[in-house]
């Protein structure tokens, strides 16, 4: 019998209850901080965006960001929130000055939601405004005001300070990775010439906009086919070149300073304009893929009242620069046509290098056509007879928000893959089983990807043949044993991804699964330990003679236990490719010939390991 559906069944939530109940509507996914797009970084970004908008409007040249454990503080030196409206600005939904385009032109935050969402999702939240010699401070817990301090005199510099602690009730145990924060802050200064951001004492400043951004993301001049082309006009800026170390396209695209990771109308218009201009300049109908192969670009556009596809603003939907104005497509096309055509005429060396690159891509595409055809047939045949991929029920082509939940575990051996398969969430988690150690592909051409059955099936499962746009799993997790063989397999897989799909790593999709080394338990409690230190602490906690099990491999962990390690509290270590490192140099050092430098590196680290072991024994 169905439940009664009456007037009492209808419930109205206030602003903070709705945000806390449905956080995904406001910040996308939650996460624990191991992924660059996890919710705790979105909270930080929402607050910084407000300070950036102040800077864009000509107010305050410095923003200070500090993070001490879980306490985040952002201080700007803009105008400061109107003192009588501080409470409204941080706790009344759909309230703010950004609805008035005369006050905030071409701003990032337009929905009046950002700071309110941060407030509601924080166990502690404080807002302070200094303005006209006065200051106003209000404090909240989980969106509920706990202290409304009276207006007071202040000799501090005008501006706004926001402090918050993301609520563990929503985010669970989390941690901020400074690498992700630094990447975010670099993007802010690249897009805002003259802006200085200070993060925990480290200064972020850039002089040349997107040119600096691209140089930082390319491993030196030797990695470029030709010098970076840098174009600026009105509210549009771009920088681009072709890379020697990549097969796919790569874009860093922004709207009003917002990193639109999913692109949108501006990125599509730019891609079309590049192809059209190059074809017209050379008078040849080059294939689109030949022009775009290995293309790397950064683009930025400022739009009045932009329309994004969600509150997280990852994809632009606007068709026009401003309401009733010129289309985004025509605006970008005109700028690219004029500047790129002139540049190629003035710089014949670049024009020649670009044409050689296009023709090289054309030859490689034609050479690879037959190999890919045979590879696809091989995949179809192999897929009928092997169980390498245990797929999940959600795929990329459903919608973006569902894709954010998908994970592919890459593991080795029947027992390990069997345990993960039995304990996984079949809706969002898939398993790819390797057969022994994969091939060391260091220094090999991409042809090997299609000729080697293991790699061929893996890239087919990921759907990354020509582009990352259709990547079927947001999280790719290498799950190997914590022993020498497991580490070797992990290294070989990392080599594969860095060699052929570095953009996948740069985009933050690749992780290492952390599984426990020990199980310590008595009759009342079981503790899983990921290090010797955790094991010692667990023994102390459980008292005399607990049972201690050392897991030698993933296959020894039962499916019932595995549910604890690949569920909501899964520990993942992101594979972060530092921008100042060359992929070629990294692969040469770790996978090249046994150089004296690498031998010395191993000897030094063995010494450190011996010293640490001795310290533990003596302790």
**pLDDT higher than 60, residue 445:** yes
Question: 571 - beta bridge partners?
Answer: 514
Please tell me whether residues 221 and 328 are part of one structural domain.
yes
**pLDDT higher than 60, residue 314:** yes
Please tell me whether residues 525 and 509 are part of one structural domain.
no
Top pLDDT among 20 and 122 is at 122
Q: What confidence score (pLDDT) does residue 136 get?
A: 94
Answer whether 265's CB lies under 8 Å from 317's CB: yes
Q: Domain for residue 4, yes or no?
A: no
Q: What confidence score (pLDDT) does residue 104 get?
A: 45
Q: pLDDT tens across 421-432, in order? A: 888 888 889 999
pTM: 0.75
Please tell me whether residues 189 and 178 are part of one structural domain.
yes
Query: DSSP 3-state assignment of 421?
Result: helix
The vertex-313 CA angle with 194 and 572, nearest 5°, equals: 95
Please tell me whether residues 86 and 121 are part of one structural domain.
yes
Please tell me whether residues 492 and 606 are part of one structural domain.
no
Domain of 152, CATH number, reads: 3.30.565.10
Please tell me whether residues 527 and 557 are part of one structural domain.
no
Please tell me whether residues 526 and 595 are part of one structural domain.
no
Q: What confidence score (pLDDT) does residue 395 get?
A: 62
The backbone region for 511, taken as left when phi is positive above 0, alpha when psi lies in -120 to 50, beta otherwise, is beta
Q: What confidence score (pLDDT) does residue 112 get?
A: 46
Q: Domain for residue 10, yes or no?
A: no
**pLDDT higher than 60, residue 58:** yes
Among 155, 189, 204, give the residue marking a domain's end.
204
Q: Domain for residue 73, yes or no?
A: yes
Query: DSSP 3-state assignment of 586?
Result: helix
Among 502, 531, 550, give the residue marking a domain's end.
550
**pLDDT higher than 60, residue 1:** no
Band of pLDDT at residue 47, cut at 50, 70 and 90: very high
Band of pLDDT at residue 385, cut at 50, 70 and 90: very low
Please tell me whether residues 89 and 153 are part of one structural domain.
yes
Q: pLDDT tens across 107-160, in order? A: 554 444 688 889 999 999 999 999 999 999 999 999 899 999 999 999 999 999
Q: Which residue has tokens 């509210």? A: 235
Among 534, 550, 566, give the residue marking a domain's end.
550
Q: What confidence score (pLDDT) does residue 100 get?
A: 46
Q: Domain for residue 106, yes or no?
A: yes
Top pLDDT among 70 and 403 is at 70
Q: pLDDT tens across 331-376, in order? A: 999 999 999 999 999 999 999 999 999 999 898 888 777 766 766 6
Average pLDDT over residues 208-235: 87
Please tell me whether residues 321 and 462 are part of one structural domain.
no
Average pLDDT over residues 476-501: 86
Domain of 509, CATH number, reads: 3.40.50.670
Q: Domain for residue 375, yes or no?
A: no
Q: Domain for residue 11, yes or no?
A: no
- Domain hosting 319: range is 210-365
Domain of 275, CATH number, reads: 3.30.230.10
Please tell me whether residues 491 and 567 are part of one structural domain.
yes
Q: What confidence score (pLDDT) does residue 10 get?
A: 55
Average pLDDT over residues 90-106: 56
Q: Domain for residue 44, yes or no?
A: yes
Q: pLDDT tens across 395-406, in order? A: 644 555 566 788
Answer whether 169's CB lies under 8 Å from 86's CB: no
Q: Domain for residue 371, yes or no?
A: no
Q: How many folded domains does the chain comprise?
A: 5
544 Cβ contact list (under 8 Å, min separation 6): none
Query: DSSP 3-state assignment of 255?
Result: strand
Mean residue pLDDT across the chain: 82
**pLDDT higher than 60, residue 386:** no
Q: What confidence score (pLDDT) does residue 111 get?
A: 42
Please tell me whether residues 451 and 331 are part of one structural domain.
no
**pLDDT higher than 70, residue 7:** no
The vertex-26 CA angle with 20 and 29, nearest 5°, equals: 85
Q: Read off the tokens for 601.
A: 């590196």
Please tell me whether residues 326 and 218 are part of one structural domain.
yes
Q: What confidence score (pLDDT) does residue 380 get?
A: 59
């Amino acid at each position: 019998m169905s439940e009664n559906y009456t007037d009492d069944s209808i419930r109205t939530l206030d602003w903070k209850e709705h945000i806390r109940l449905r956080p995904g509507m406001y910040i996308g996914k939650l996460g624990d901080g191991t992924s660059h797009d996890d919710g705790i970084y979105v909270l930080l970004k929402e607050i910084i965006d407000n300070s950036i908008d102040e800077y864009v409007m000509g107010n305050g040249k410095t923003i200070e960001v500090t993070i001490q454990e879980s306490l985040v503080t952002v201080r700007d030196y803009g105008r400061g929130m109107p003192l009588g409206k501080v409470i409204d600005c941080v706790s009344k939904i759909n309230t703010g000055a950004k609805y008035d385009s005369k006050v905030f032109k071409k701003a990032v935050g337009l929905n009046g939601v950002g700071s309110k969402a941060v407030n509601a999702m924080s166990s502690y939240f404080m807002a302070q405004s200094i303005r006209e010699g006065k200051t106003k401070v209000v404090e909240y817990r989980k969106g509920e005001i706990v202290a409304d301090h009276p207006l007071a005199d202040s000799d501090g510099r005008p501006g706004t300070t926001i402090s918050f602690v993301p609520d563990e009730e929503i985010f669970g145990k989390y941690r901020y990775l400074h690498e992700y924060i630094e990447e975010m802050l670099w993007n802010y200064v690249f897009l805002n010439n003259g802006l200085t951001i200070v993060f925990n004492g480290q200064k972020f400043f850039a002089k040349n906009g997107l040119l600096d951004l691209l140089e930082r993301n390319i491993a030196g001049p030797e990695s470029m086919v030709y010098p970076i082309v840098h174009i600026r006009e009105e509210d549009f800026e771009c920088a681009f070149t072709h890379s020697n170390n990549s097969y796919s396209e790569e874009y860093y695209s922004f709207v009003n300073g917002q990193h639109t990771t999913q692109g949108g109308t501006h990125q599509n218009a730019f891609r079309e304009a590049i192809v059209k201009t190059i074809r017209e300049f050379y008078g040849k109908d080059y294939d689109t893929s030949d022009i775009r192969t290995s293309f790397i670009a950064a683009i930025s556009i400022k739009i009045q009242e932009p329309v994004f596809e969600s509150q997280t603003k990852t994809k632009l939907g606007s068709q026009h620069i401003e309401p009733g104005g010129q289309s985004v497509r025509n605006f970008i096309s005109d700028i690219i046509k004029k500047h790129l055509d002139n540049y190629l005429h003035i710089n014949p060396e670049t024009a020649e290098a670009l044409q050689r690159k296009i023709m090289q891509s054309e030859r490689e595409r034609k050479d690879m056509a037959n190999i890919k055809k045979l590879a696809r047939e091989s995949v179809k045949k192999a897929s009928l007879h092997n169980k390498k991929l245990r797929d999940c029920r959600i795929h990329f082509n459903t919608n973006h928000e569902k894709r954010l939940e998908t994970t592919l575990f890459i593991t080795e051996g029947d027992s390990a893959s069997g345990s993960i398969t039995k304990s996984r969430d079949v809706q969002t988690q898939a398993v790819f089983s390797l057969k022994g150690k994969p091939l060391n592909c260091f220094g090999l051409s991409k042809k090997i990807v299609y000729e080697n059955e293991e790699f061929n099936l893996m890239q087919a499962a990921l759907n990354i043949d020509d582009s990352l746009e259709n990547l079927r799993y947001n999280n790719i997790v290498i799950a190997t044993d914590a022993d020498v063989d497991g580490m070797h397999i992990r290294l070989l897989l990392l080599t594969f991804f860095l060699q052929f799909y570095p953009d996948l790593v740069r985009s933050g999709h690749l992780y290492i699964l952390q599984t426990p080394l020990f199980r310590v338990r008595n009759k009342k409690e079981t503790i899983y330990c990921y290090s010797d230190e955790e094991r010692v602490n667990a023994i102390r906690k459980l008292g005399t003679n607990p049972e201690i099990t050392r897991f030698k491999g993933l296959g020894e962990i039962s499916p019932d236990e595995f549910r604890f390690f690949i569920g909501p509290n899964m520990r993942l270590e992101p594979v972060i490719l530092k921008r100042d490192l060359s992929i070629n140099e990294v692969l040469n050092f770790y996978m090249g010939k046994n150089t004296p430098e690498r031998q010395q590196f191993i000897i030094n680290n063995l010494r450190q390991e011996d010293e640490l072991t001795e310290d533990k024994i003596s302790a």
